[in-house]
Amino acid sequence: MRVLPKEITDPLSAAVDQRSAQMGVIDLANVDTLSFILTEDIVHKEEKGFQVLGRLDNSDTRGCNLMYLESL
């Protein structure tokens, strides 16, 4: 798996370093189906990985965030 930060205002463009960006993910082992997804998560790329900062404004609640909200 590789995280590809994308510009929030233009997801077809790679994000400039040291900025918050929209999270694109490519599955390097997937050869039979769609191997790239663009999430609505905000990510900051770091030297040895990445940090998920949250969700884009007006995006649907999903995954762990959804389970957390349902538990309240």
- What domains lie within the chain, and their CATH numbers? 2-71 (2.30.38)
Q: Write down the pLDDT at residue 64.
A: 62
Cα–Cα distance between 68 and 72 in angstroms, integer?
7
Q: Strands 49-55, 36-46: parallel, antiparallel or unpaired by DSSP?
A: antiparallel
The tens digit of pLDDT for each residue in 31-55 reads 888 889 998 889 998 888 888 888 8
Cα–Cα distance between 66 and 59 in angstroms, integer?
12
Q: Taking residues 3-26, report their average pLDDT.
A: 87
Q: Write down the pLDDT at residue 69.
A: 61
Q: Write down the pLDDT at residue 58.
A: 76
List strands edge to edge, sheet with 2-6.
2-6, 20-26, 36-46, 49-55
Instruction: Using pLDDT thresholds of 50, 70 and 90, give the confidence band for residue 6.
Output: very high
Cα–Cα distance between 34 and 19 in angstroms, integer?
27
Element (H, E) at 22: strand 20-26
pLDDT at 21 exceeding the cut of 80: yes
